[in-house]
Amino acid sequence: MNRMADMRREFKPADYKSSVKPVWCPGCGDHSVLLMFQRALAELALPPEQVAIVSGIGCSSRIPAYTNCYGFHGVHGRSLPLATGLKVARPDLTVIVASGDGDGFSIGGNHFLHACRRNIDVTYIVMDNRIYGMTKGQPSPTTEPDWETDIAPEGTGVTPFHPLVIALASGANFIARGFSGDLAGCTRLIVEAVRWPGFSFVQILSPCVTFRADQQKAWREQVRKAVVPETDDPARAARRLMTDDGFNTGILYRGKREAYRQQPFGDCDPSFLEAEFEV
Amino acid sequence: MITSGEAVSLSIALTGSGGAGVMTAGQLLLEAATRCGLYGLMTRSTGPQIRGGEAAAMVRLSPKVVQSPGDRFDVLLALDFDNVQRFAAELPLDSSGLIIADPAAGDIPAFLRASGARVAQVPMAKLAKSVSGGRSAMIALGVLARLIGLPEQAVSDAVAASIGRRKPEALAASEEALQLGSAHAPDVTIPRLATPASKPQGRWSISGNEATGYGAIRGGVKFVGGYPITPATEILEWMAGALPQCGGALVQAEDELASINMVMGASFGGAPALTATAGPGLSLMIESLGLAVASETPIVVVDVMRSGPSTGIATKSEQSDLNIAVYGLHGDAPHVVTAPLSISDCLLTAQWSVHLAESLQTPVIVLSDQSIGQARAVIDRPKEISFGTRRLTPTEPIDNYARYAATESGVSPMSIPGQRCGQYTADGLTHNARGVPSSQAQDHVEQLHKRQHKLDAFDFSTHWAEIDGQGELALLTWGSSSEPLREAIEIARSQGINVKLIALRLISPPQPALLARALEGVRRVLVIEQSHGAQFWRYLRAYYDLPAEVVSIACPGPLPIRPGEVLAHIQKGASA
Mean local confidence (pLDDT), B472-494: 97
Task: Give the gap in angstroms from C-alpha A13 to the nearest C-alpha of chain B.
Answer: 16
| Predicted local confidence at residue B483, as pLDDT | 97
What does B313-353 look like in DSSP terms, one character per residue?
Answer: BTTS-----HHHHHH-SSSS---EEE--SSTTHHHHHHHHH
Nearest CB to B418 within list A50, A75, A110? A50
Q: What is the pLDDT of residues B339-351, one digit of tens each?
A: 999 999 999 999 9
Question: Over 80: is that where the pLDDT of B51 sits?
Answer: no
Q: What is the pLDDT of residues A171-203, one digit of tens each?
A: 999 999 999 999 999 999 999 999 999 999 999
Mean local confidence (pLDDT), B157-183: 91
A113 interaction partners in chain B (CB closer than 8 Å): 254
In CATH terms, the fold of domain B205-380 is Rossmann fold (3.40.50)
The CA-based dihedral angle spanning residues A116, A117, A122, A127, taken in that order and rounded to the nearest 10 degrees: -10
A83 interaction partners in chain B (CB closer than 8 Å): 265
> Residue B336: phi, psi to the nearest 5?
-115, 140
Instruction: Give the largest Cα separation in chain B, rounded.
Output: 82
Question: In this structure, are residues B285 and B256 in contact, taking their beta carbons and an 8 Å threshold?
Answer: yes
Question: In this structure, are residues B160 and B31 in contact, taking their beta carbons and an 8 Å threshold?
Answer: no
Mean local confidence (pLDDT), B443-454: 98
| Predicted local confidence at residue B46, as pLDDT | 84
Question: Over 50: is that where the pLDDT of B335 sits?
Answer: yes
Interface predicted TM-score (ipTM): 0.97
| Predicted local confidence at residue B167, as pLDDT | 84
Confidence of residue B5 (pLDDT cuts 50, 70, 90): low
Q: How far apart, in Å, do the first and last CA atoms of chain A sit?
A: 48
CATH of domain B465-575: 3.40.50.920
Mean local confidence (pLDDT), B24-29: 96
Residue numbers of chain A with a pLDDT score lower than 50:
1
Write a three-state SS string for B271-282: CCEEEEECHHHH
Q: How far is Cα B304 from Cα B317, in angstroms, rounded to an integer?
A: 9
B437, A20: Cβ pair inside 8 Å? yes
**A246 CA to centre of own chain:** 17
| Predicted local confidence at residue B2, as pLDDT | 34
| Predicted local confidence at residue B53, as pLDDT | 81
Task: Give the gap in angstroms from C-alpha A53 to the nearest C-alpha of chain B.
Answer: 9
Q: What is the pLDDT of residues B196-246, one digit of tens each?
A: 777 778 899 999 999 999 999 999 999 999 999 999 999 999 999 999 999
Q: How far is Cα B522 from Cα B212, in angstroms, rounded to an integer?
A: 33
Q: Which domains does chain A have, with CATH numbers?
A: 22-276 (3.40.50.970)
Question: In this structure, are residues B233 and B244 in contact, taking their beta carbons and an 8 Å threshold?
Answer: no
B269, A111: Cβ pair inside 8 Å? no
Q: How far is Cα A99 from Cα B88, in angstroms, rounded to an integer?
A: 55
B264, A85: Cβ pair inside 8 Å? yes
Amino acid at B291: L
Q: How far is Cα A144 from Cα B303, in angstroms, rounded to an integer?
A: 43
A65, B268: Cβ pair inside 8 Å? no
B214, A277: Cβ pair inside 8 Å? yes
> What are the extents of the domains in chain B?
6-193, 205-380, 392-458, 465-575
Q: How far is Cα B303 from Cα B346, in angstroms, rounded to an integer?
A: 12
| Predicted local confidence at residue B88, as pLDDT | 87
Question: In this structure, are residues B500 and B468 in contact, taking their beta carbons and an 8 Å threshold?
Answer: yes
What are the strands, taking DSSP E only, across B484-536? 499-504, 506-508, 524-529
Question: Over 60: is that where the pLDDT of B260 sits?
Answer: yes
Confidence of residue B4 (pLDDT cuts 50, 70, 90): very low
Confidence of residue B101 (pLDDT cuts 50, 70, 90): very high
Residue B33 CB burial class (10 angstroms; 0-12, 13-18, ≥19): buried
Question: In this structure, are residues B424 and B401 in contact, taking their beta carbons and an 8 Å threshold?
Answer: yes
B356 touches chain A (CB under 8 A): no
A237 touches chain B (CB under 8 A): no
Strands B203-207 and B192-193: unpaired
Question: Over 50: is that where the pLDDT of B1 sits?
Answer: no
> Residue A167: phi, psi to the nearest 5?
-60, -45
Mean local confidence (pLDDT), B321-336: 98
A106 touches chain B (CB under 8 A): no
Closest CA to B279 of B541, B555, B531: B531
Closest CA to B543 of B503, B516, B570: B516
B363 interaction partners in chain A (CB closer than 8 Å): none
Tell me if B205-380 shares its fold with B465-575.
Answer: yes
Suggest the residue from B209, B262, B424 to mutate for an interface test with chain A (most A CBs closer than 10 A): B262
B270 interaction partners in chain A (CB closer than 8 Å): 89-90
CATH of domain B6-193: 3.40.920.10
Q: Which of residues 187-226 of A touch B (CB under 8 A)?
A: none
What are the strands, taking DSSP E only, across chain A? 51-55, 70-73, 94-100, 123-128, 174-179, 200-205, 224-225, 248-254
B223 touches chain A (CB under 8 A): yes
Question: In this structure, are residues A99 and A60 in contact, taking their beta carbons and an 8 Å threshold?
Answer: yes
B218 interaction partners in chain A (CB closer than 8 Å): 270
How many C-beta atoms lie closer than 10 Å to residue B336's C-beta?
24
